[in-house]
Amino acid sequence: MGVLTGGDEVFCAGADLKDLEALAAEASGDAGPLGFTRLAVSKPTIAAIAGYCVAGGLEIACWCDLRIADVTAVFGCFERRFGVPLIDGGTQRLPRIVGLGRALDLILTGRPVHAGEALMMGLATKVVSQGDALRQAVKLAHTLAGFPPECLRNDRRAVYEGLGLPLEEGLKLEARLGADTLSSGEPAIGAREFAAGKGRGGRSR
């Protein structure tokens, strides 16, 4: 499990536009200009966001699986006004999170999106009180870490690897990864716990 966070007033405002030469040099790299945005990880990641989450910062947040924002959070493709492209995955991940129409709205206009609207469009997973984003993100990470790990990772993998596949191929992928999980022994342990009365009615195991 991983939690990414920034400061109390700015999550991340992206690259240093005073050094465009370095940005251009890093644009073609395998990892992405911000260092990791073209890399994939096998475990869930959560962004804890306060204040400005713009330009490359928004792309970092979109790299994460979930985004916990406090009420001060502001999202946006602010690089639009300076003629700097989205090159840390934003053009690919943002539409997958909020849909094509909303993504184009943000990408083409560069307008600010405050926490409430971000929640409404699905960009923010949850909005919390000021100063509470990191605590809530860590709490969520602990919850996820308490679930059987192979099942969690394989279901997450099925979602990401299935994006863009025809439904028939996606179902085959899900079946293959599901079979791997079923043969791992985790579901048998969970079934015994359920039979013993644990976790029923949505309660923790």
One of 6, 59, 61, 137 is an active-site residue; which one?
Answer: 59
- Examine the residue annotation and report whether 56 is marked as an active-site residue of this protein: yes
Catalytic choice (13, 76, 79, 133)? 79
- Give pTM, 2 decimals: 0.89
pLDDT of residue 1: 86
Is 79 one of the catalytic residues? yes
3-state secondary structure at position 68:
strand
Centre a 10 Å sphere on the Cβ of residue 33 and count the other Cβ atoms it contains. 20
Q: Of these residues, 56, 57, 89, 90, which one is catalytic?
A: 56
Neighbours of 180 (CB within 10 A): 13
- Reading the chain (205 residues) residue by residue, the pLDDT tens digits are 899 999 888 999 987 766 667 666 667 777 788 889 989 999 999 999 999 999 999 999 999 999 999 999 999 999 999 898 999 999 999 999 999 999 999 999 999 999 999 999 999 999 999 999 999 999 999 999 999 999 999 999 999 999 999 999 999 999 999 999 999 888 788 778 777 777 666 666 5
The answer to whether the CB of 65 falls within 8 A of the CB of 22 is: no
- Are 6 and 57 spatial neighbours (Cβ–Cβ below 8 Å)? yes
Q: How far is CA 50 from the centre of its chain?
A: 15
Give the per-residue pLDDT at 110.
Answer: 97
Active site residue 15: yes
Catalytic residue among 6, 13, 15, 137: 15
Q: Report the pLDDT value the prediction gives residue 187, as an integer from 0 to 100.
A: 77
